[in-house]
Amino acid sequence: MHSQSLPVVESAKELESETTAMVKARANNEFAAFKSSMQSSFIAMMQKDLSANIVCHIIGVPATAMRVFIKVLNPKFVWNHLRKNFKSTILELLVDRSNRLESRPTRKLLELVGDKSKLQIDG
């Protein structure tokens, strides 16, 4: 009986390994699509396997503070999920940002939909 369950366990481990590799390859390809508009160092960093602590460093929040913040918001959150959630969130923001000219969020926000003049925002 033990010898029969062993191949199933090995198959499950192989499947998990293959799935992880596919997810990483997909993320790398998706970030590569933004090479022309992002700094190459940022793209290279996002293609790496980041830890939750590195994510905290990137966003400038101490890991201890982030753990407390997450615990308050979602006590069941798994700390190691922060790294994959961070990458997917950044990717979604990049995709949304790519279409900003078509969606014209500033014009909608300021109710300038019919106004054809250029917006100039003082910085």
pLDDT tens-place string over residues 69-81? 888 888 888 898 8
Given this model, what pLDDT does residue 98 score?
60
The answer to whether residue 68 is domain-embedded is yes
Yes or no: say if 51 and 83 are a contact pair by the CB < 8 Å rule.
yes
pLDDT over 50 (residue 116)? yes
The answer to whether residue 11 is domain-embedded is no
Number of domains observed in the structure of the chain: 1
Given this model, what pLDDT does residue 51 score?
93
Positive or negative, the CA dihedral 111, 115, 116, 120 is negative
The answer to whether residue 99 is domain-embedded is yes
Given this model, what pLDDT does residue 123 score?
45
pTM beyond cutoff 0.75: no
Positive or negative, the CA dihedral 40, 46, 48, 50 is positive
pLDDT over 90 (residue 39)? no
The answer to whether residue 122 is domain-embedded is no
